[in-house]
Structure 1
Amino acid sequence: MCLGVAKSYLIISCPAYRPITWNGIFVGADAYDRMMIVGLMRTAGKPVQLTTEKFTIPVMIEEFLPDYKNNRRIPFSIILRRVIDNKSNSGS
């Protein structure tokens, strides 16, 4: 089985849709605030939009691991899963 259901969203975890992962660093006076925002987005459990210069897709934040050292420089890793809104597909 390659689909999981979270509330009314389908989380795509088939081999064709590998998790989206990266490491980064929040830097600057608002680094702590940005870390908290992403953490709250993860715990809310709702899809968010991942936007790049080429595409925008809905994703769930599966894992967010900040490595808090100080307020101005916070390394992190993140794992996202692509989702499909099941509500928009149910009426077809």
Structure 2
Amino acid sequence: MVILLVIIHVVVCLFLIGVVLLQQGKSADLAGAFGGQGSQTAFGPRGAANLLTKLTTYSAIVFMLTSIGLTILLSRAGGDHSVLSGTAHPTHQTTPAKK
């Protein structure tokens, strides 16, 4: 189960990177290169979400769910993982040397 979830997580991660890199920025026109806003408003026009925006949203949701699922599965499978779980030495107090 963990291996399947890791494979899905890596595929979604690579897909998310690709979809984000394919999107056009808000000021990607020539006027944006010189500081002008062109025909855009202060925060850019907010029209209907296109296919890339929807794919980004859905892949981000799947990425977060697989991250949470992996965290839960690995915490249950690992058992007791404490910082002090590897120390098998009993604590004993030493007295300082007399001078």
User: Fold match, TM over 0.5?
Assistant: no
Q: Structure 1 length normalisation: TM-score?
A: 0.23
Q: Structure 2 length normalisation: TM-score?
A: 0.22
Q: Which has the larger radius of gyration?
A: 2
Which protein is richer in strand relative to its size? 1
Higher relative contact order (CA 8 A, sep 6+): 2
Which protein is richer in helix relative to its size? 2
